[in-house]
Amino acid sequence: MTQPTNDTITTYFLAEGRQTGAEVAAQLAAFIRAATTSLDIAIYDFRLAPPTATVIAAALHERAAAGVAIRIAYDADKPPQPLMAAADPAPAGTGAFVQALGLPFRRIGGQKLMHNKYVVRDGATPNAAVWTGSLNFTDDAWTLQENNVITLASAEAATEYAQDFTQLWEREHIEGTGNVAAPTLALRYGGQAATAHILFSPANGMTIDEQVALTVARAQRRVRLCSMLLNSGALLNALEDVQRVGAVPIDGIYDQTQMAQVLLQWQDVPHNHWKINAVERIVAATHLVGKASTPYSPTSRHDFMHNKIIVVDDTVITGSYNFSRSAEENAENVLFIQSAPLADHYSTYIDGLKAHYAR
């Protein structure tokens, strides 16, 4: 996470076997320990075993003892549903872990998922910052999966995330949340000016889906995918249109195993049959590299290619939002960041993953 000191954006990239759980715990603990007034944590999956649990619990309890107000909102109280890979299921255990911390918490219910993975530090103060991205707080996520973390040292960004968190906290349900104004934020990365636009679902789910597809459709130089799933109809149409014209290269990496399970599910849904053909055409035409992860079960090895990244020209799209129909109705966050050096940095990360899994 080391960038020039005047940058307001920092990044942290993970890949299977590249980092230890202790290293990730140290990164998150450092972010937590910098808090002076408040920490609001919206997390889908929070289950750690010693020693990583000890590191994070110690950081949280240290800040609580110093008077920092800490609140944790997590996904809970879901109706029984069939096992669906596209829903990004998490094993049980988050509730027990969070409650054992002894800090204020809220269970966030709803038909869909509270799928965020963000921490808001110190609200709208000069010390304000946001930790977000695709990374759940689990040992598997920290050691076996490909994920990205992005932090924004910005009171304006923290204000937006704090509004979303407050809606989740007060409603204790995802319905009606994500209704946050979305101004363009002025940031910095690589010593250069950057801009960011942040959106939250479910309130802006359809807008996110449309904006992702529109950004891809307008590509001039490159479209690079680094995504667990590719099942948004709007995105698939945009990718096929770009590929059909042939002026802009499309490449990247996805989770081949998890996507194969989605294709099997679509066979039983007639109105999704066209998506099966679209995905197969896109993968074949663009030579997307697939990670062969372990088929999902609650007790399996959770080694997914878990990123949710698209790089289009000099724009990076990332966050907790899988590019799927389900994500529109989940509680999610997604960032559209315009920055040439940041897009190149993410592109280099994608190159490394492609080279590794192409073997």
pLDDT at 299: 86
Residue 74 pairs in a beta bridge with: 43, 107
pLDDT at 293: 97
Mean pLDDT of 118-138: 96
Mean pLDDT of 52-60: 98
211-248 confidence digits (pLDDT tens): 999 999 999 999 999 999 999 999 999 999 999 999 99
- Residue 86, number of CB atoms within 10 A of its CB: 19
| CA atoms of 145 and 137, how far apart (whole Å) | 12
pLDDT at 11: 98
pLDDT at 5: 60
Q: What is the DSSP string of 88-116?
A: ----S-HHHHHHHTTS-EEEEB-SS-B--
| CA atoms of 30 and 279, how far apart (whole Å) | 41
167-180 confidence digits (pLDDT tens): 999 999 999 999 99
Provide CB contacts within 8 A for 11, sequence distance 6+: 1, 3, 148, 149, 150, 151, 342, 345, 346
Q: Which helix (H) or strand (E) holds 308?
A: strand 308-312
pLDDT at 80: 67
pLDDT at 61: 98
Q: How many CA atoms lie within 13 A of 228 on its CB side?
A: 33
| CA atoms of 262 and 120, how far apart (whole Å) | 33
245-302 confidence digits (pLDDT tens): 999 999 999 999 999 999 999 999 999 999 999 999 999 999 899 999 999 888 889 9
**Token digits for 237?**
């149409």
DSSP state of 272: G
pLDDT at 88: 60
69-97 confidence digits (pLDDT tens): 999 999 998 776 654 544 566 778 999 99
| CA atoms of 215 and 204, how far apart (whole Å) | 16
Percent of all residues in the chain with a pLDDT value above 90, rounded to a whole number: 90
Q: How many CA atoms lie within 13 A of 358 on its CB side?
A: 11
Confidence class of residue 124 from pLDDT cuts 50, 70 and 90?
confident
Report the alpha-carbon angle 108-199-114, nearest 5: 15
pLDDT at 130: 98
pLDDT at 41: 99
**Token digits for 341?**
């050096």
Percent of all residues in the chain with a pLDDT value above 70, rounded to a whole number: 96
Q: Which residue has the tokens 């372990």?
A: 294
Q: Which helix (H) or strand (E) holds 329?
A: helix 325-329
| CA atoms of 41 and 118, how far apart (whole Å) | 6
Q: Phi and psi for 132 in degrees, rounded to 5? A: -150, -175
- Judge contact between 305 and 145, C-beta under 8 A: yes
**Token digits for 328?**
């529109």
Q: What is the DSSP string of 191-243?
A: TEEEEEEEEEETTTHHHHHHHHHHHHHT-SS-EEEEES-B--HHHHHHHHHHH
**Token digits for 162?**
């704090």
- Residue 243, number of CB atoms within 10 A of its CB: 16
- Go through the domains of the chain in sequence order and give each one's CATH number: 9-357 (3.30.870.10)
- Residue 190, number of CB atoms within 10 A of its CB: 16
**Mean pLDDT, the chain, integer:** 94
Confidence class of residue 129 from pLDDT cuts 50, 70 and 90?
very high
| CA atoms of 130 and 12, how far apart (whole Å) | 13
Tell whether the torsion through CA atoms of 217, 218, 223 and 225 is positive or negative.
negative
